[in-house]
Amino acid sequence: MKILYFILCSLINLSLMFFVFFLEFIFVAKLNIIVASIFQFILVFFMIVISIVVSFFVSNFILKNVISKFFNLDR
């Protein structure tokens, strides 16, 4: 069951990361920010870092309880 929990958390984390990154990308595209290439690289890097952090905390603290309630996993 721990393998199942690990797979579910990994998939949820990955999907949340892509979703947050997509939302950030759409937000930046709507602002029409035109900057130098180094600033674009820094912006994309921070977008990736923020999306990883947000998805990690959401999957660990919120969805962990939901998954454990549905599947009755041992802690």
| Domain locations in the chain as residue ranges | 2-70
DSSP tag of 72: T
pLDDT over threshold 60, residue 74: no
DSSP tag of 73: -
| Among 52, 53, 68, residue whose Cα is nearest residue 5 | 68
Six-digit token string for 66: 């939901």
**Mean pLDDT for the chain overall:** 72
Reading phi first (left if > 0) and then psi (alpha if -120 to 50, else beta), residue 32 is in left
Mean pLDDT score, 40-63: 74
pLDDT interval class at 5 (50, 70, 90): low
**Chain center to CA of 51:** 4
pTM of the model: 0.51
CA distance 68 to 11: 15
